[in-house]
Structure formats: C-alpha cells, structure tokens
Amino acid sequence: MIGRLHLQIAYGRALRGSLGHSAPETVAAWTRARRFASDIDDPIELAPIQSGLFNACLTHGELAPMRELAEAIMGAAERHRESPVATIVARWTSGVTCWFAGDYLNAGIHLEQAFAAYGTERDPATFKASTLDLPFVIMRFLALVLWPRGEIDRARQLAGAAVSVSGEQRALARANALVHKAVFDGLCGSRLRQTETILALGLAQDHTMPLYVAAGTYLNGLAKWRAGDRAAGLADMQRGWTLLHENDCYLCDPFWGLQIAVANAEAGLVEAGLDIISELIDATAQSGQHWLDAELHRVLGELRARRDTPDISGAEDAFHRALEIARRQQTKTFELRSALGLARLYVGNGRVDAVPGVLAPVRAGFDAGQDLAEIGETDELLGRADWPGRHSHAS
C-alpha cells in the first residue's frame, strides 16, 4: 500500500505542476491519495497529501474548506507533538488560513511558530522526504503578513531571502517563488523587476505550467505598467487576470483586481475602476478572502474622489471604513495609507486643520528610520497642516 501511495503522491505533484493546484484532476489525485493513506498515521507520509489538498483550497480562494482542512490538520498534529513536520504543516496551514481571512495577528503567531519549528529538526532530509518546499513558502507568507503590520524591514528581508534560493530548486518552486516576490513588491507599491517577472513567465511556458503562465502574464503586465508602459501593461494585466480565472485561481483576486481598477482610473476610466472595486468587495463577502479589505476601501475612496463630479462624502465614508478595517486587523501600513488618502481629501477641500488629527496618531506608530514612502509623505502633509497655525500666530 505504501508503494501505491507514493505513486499517487507523485501523480498529484505532477498534475499540480501541469494543470494547477485546484484543477479537478489534481484535487481528485490528492483525494485518492488521502483515501490510500486512511490507515496511515505517519506525519511525514501525510504531509504532502495535506499540503496538496490545502493548496487546492487556497488557490480556489474560499475560506470555509480551507478552515475545515486546517483544523483537521491541527488536530492530527496534536497527536504527534514530537514531530516537527506535523507542527510545521499544521502551523503553516493555520497561519495562511488566518491571513486569508484577515486575521493578521494569529496569522503571524502561527507562521512564526512554523518557521521556528525548523530549528527543532536536525536532519534536513526529513523535509525532503515529505516533499515540502518549506521554510521558503512560510517566509513568503510571513512577509505578506508582516509588511501590512508595519514590520517593514523584516518583511522585506524575508521576501528577498525566500526568492534568493529559488535558483537551487525545481522549476515549479522557482516559478512560485518569483510570483510570490512580485506580488509582495506589488503590494508594497514598488516597481517590479521585469527580469524576475519575465523569468517567472519563461519558466512557466518552458515547463508547461498554465497557472504560472497566467500569473507571470499578469505580473509582467504590472511591471510594464509601473515602468510607464501603461497601455501594454494594462492589456497584459487584464489577459493574465482572465487566464488566472480560467485556471480556477482566485487566491489574491483582490490584489489582481485592485491593480487593474487603479490602472483603469489612470487611463481615465474611473467608473470602470469603481465597478471593479465594488465587485471585489462583494466577492470578499462570499469567499471570506479579507486580507486586502482595507486597501479595497481605500482605493474605493480615492476613485470616488476622482469622479467627473467628485463624490466627496462617499470618498470620506470609504476612507473611514478603510481605517476601521485596518485598525481592527492591526495592519498599521494599510492604516497609514488610508489616513493619507483621507488627509489628501481634506487638503483638497480646504480642511487642512483636520489633517493632524488624522495623520499624527498613525504616524506615531512608525519609527523615523523605516523605509516606507508613505512615512515621508505623511511628514510632508503634517508640515503643511502646521502652516495655517503658524501664519495666524505670526500675524
């Protein structure tokens, strides 16, 4: 039975690369492997099956099945507290599930514990035997958790380290690492490295990995768009987003859609951008994918303010909603971005005196030395907000 199980696991891994994590054939292969392993209670044997099934749920982008599977994996790990592999898989799946749902605090706790568990296993071959690409996958998700929480430097260090070793890995792992790094850079607002997005796309095409062709097409478009090639970039982003959906990939859908909404607005199609954001907000309520909710409402506010007839009241409401979400999720970076959006709205409407009350409390949560463009803009706006008071005292 073990030999048959190993063949089924190998088949699941092959389908994962050629068809994608959530393709029906891939899911069926992992489900069959789980049935073959029904009488097995060895964490190393079960790890690739658990990871395969979880990645299928994650890629499909629905919280309920992810949570159910993560809870079952955690229950199994409780029976094998002596096993680092069981601990790592349980903490990783629980951490990613929390991140997906917008629970950044518990996501960080679980992922830090998963990362730390590697130090308790002295034999790296243990992890190779279970075909896990960890700890690098954990590092990628931990970066996506820490950056919004305001831990800027460590998030960047983890994101960079996770991709730096990808050249030593097989094509699927390398493509996955490059895509994750590009998503991280995109979330930070940085210009993407086209050498990395082109490499990800090339790897996916050379090794016939349609899911990563879709992601690489999108991210290469985003890199072009941020480099100034707006028309070609937006076209590639839209084509990539369509391909992602054709491959049943809704993981990071709020991120994909948000960038396209912003690009449409920059092209003068503000109403089209607003339609996309509204649809994304509605979709998160159905899927449970809440990790980017604050950003969706922030951009909703910015686009409402950019209408031909600016909707100032609606924009202000959206910014306040974004701030509320960011504070609840304890995402300081998103909170600062939302506060900046509201402050710009106030400045544009002659309400400069209201700016310090919006920005100062959020700015206090960041050290001066942190490398974040939004900090510099915040300081500049706070300086402008002081001018009326200084001028009135001088007179």
- Please say if the pLDDT value at position 347 is more than 50: yes
- Please say if the pLDDT value at position 304 is more than 90: yes
Q: For the chain, give the percent of residues with pLDDT over 90.
A: 70
Output the pLDDT for position 200: 81
Lowest mean pLDDT among 125-139, 196-210, 273-287: 125-139
Q: State the Cα angle at 238 between 233 and 244, rounded to 5°.
A: 120
CA distance 192 to 240: 16
Tell me if 119 sits within 8 A of 80, measured CB to CB.
Answer: no
- Please say if the pLDDT value at position 99 is more than 80: yes
Correct CATH for 269-388 of 1.10.10, 3.30.1660, 1.10.101, 1.25.40: 1.25.40
Output the pLDDT for position 171: 82
Give me 294's structure tokens.
Answer: 């604050």
Give me 131's structure tokens.
Answer: 């075909």
CA distance 41 to 33: 13
Which distant-in-sequence residues (6+ apart) come within 8 Å of 362 by Cβ? 332, 335, 336, 339, 378
Q: Which of 98-107, 167-176, 203-212, 370-379 has the highest mean pLDDT?
A: 98-107
The widest CA-to-CA distance across the chain, in whole angstroms, is 89
Provide the residue type at 312 as one letter. Answer: I
- Please say if the pLDDT value at position 127 is more than 70: no
Residue with tokens 């518990």: 106
Output the pLDDT for position 392: 39
Average pLDDT, the chain: 90
Lowest mean pLDDT among 61-75, 108-122, 138-152, 158-172: 158-172
Tell me if 214 sits within 8 A of 232, measured CB to CB.
Answer: no
Task: Return the domain boundaries, the chain.
Answer: 1-133, 269-388
- Compute how many other C-beta atoms are within 10 angstroms of the C-beta atom of residue 65: 14
Average pLDDT value for residue range 146-173: 85
Average pLDDT value for residue range 352-364: 94
Lowest mean pLDDT among 142-146, 174-178, 256-260, 263-267: 174-178
Output the pLDDT for position 33: 94
Average pLDDT value for residue range 32-53: 90
Lowest mean pLDDT among 134-138, 226-230, 270-274: 134-138
Alpha carbon 353 to chain centroid, angstroms: 36
Tell me if 330 sits within 8 A of 150, measured CB to CB.
Answer: no
- Please say if the pLDDT value at position 86 is more than 70: yes
pLDDT band at 338 (very low <50, low <70, confident <90, very high): very high
Average pLDDT value for residue range 114-137: 70
State the angle between helix axes of 312-329 and 332-348 in degrees (0 to 180), rounded to the nearest 10. Answer: 160
CA distance 257 to 296: 9
Residue with tokens 């393709």: 23
Average pLDDT value for residue range 299-322: 98
- Please say if the pLDDT value at position 342 is more than 90: yes
pLDDT digits (tens, 9 = 90+) for 217-249: 999 999 999 999 999 999 999 999 999 999 999
Tell me if 283 sits within 8 A of 245, measured CB to CB.
Answer: no
Q: For the chain, give the percent of residues with pLDDT over 70.
A: 92
The CATH code of the domain at 1-133 is 1.25.40.10
1-133 and 269-388 share one fold: yes
CA distance 56 to 78: 23
Average pLDDT value for residue range 177-201: 86
pLDDT band at 393 (very low <50, low <70, confident <90, very high): very low
Enumerate long-range contacts of 357-362, CB under 8 Å, 24 or more apart. Answer: 359/385, 362/332, 362/335, 362/336
113 SS3 class: helix
- Please say if the pLDDT value at position 395 is more than 60: no
Give the residue among 54, 46, 56 at the shortest CA–CA distance from 130. 46
CA distance 96 to 76: 17
Q: State the Cα angle at 383 between 382 and 388, rounded to 5°.
A: 100
Output the pLDDT for position 391: 43
